[in-house]
Amino acid sequence: MTEPSTNITPAKGPASYFPSIEAKYGQPISHWMDVLRAAGPRKHMEYVALLKTDHALGHGHANALVAAYLSQGKS
């Protein structure tokens, strides 16, 4: 018997990390976008370092959040 198909498309790219980020750190993605916005203009790795140092996020999670943030034209 074959598996039934679903119309749910799994998230790709940085957004694929969002469920685990929310589960691990207990904050919605909007919270992290606010943190990045409040940090002002920075380079990608400066945002990553901020999230890692000040908020104890892992590198992969921080990188995914920054990539998503910057892809929205924010900086």
Q: What is the pLDDT of residue 3?
A: 58
The whole-number pLDDT of residue 36 equals 98
Tens-binned pLDDT, residue by residue, of the chain (75 aa): 555 555 666 778 889 999 999 999 999 999 999 999 999 999 999 999 999 999 999 999 999 999 999 999 865
Question: Any idea what the Cα angle at residue 33 is, between residues 9 and 45, rounded to 5°?
Answer: 100
Domain boundaries, the chain: 13-71
Token pair belonging to 72: 């929205």
Residue given tokens 């799994």 in the structure block: 10
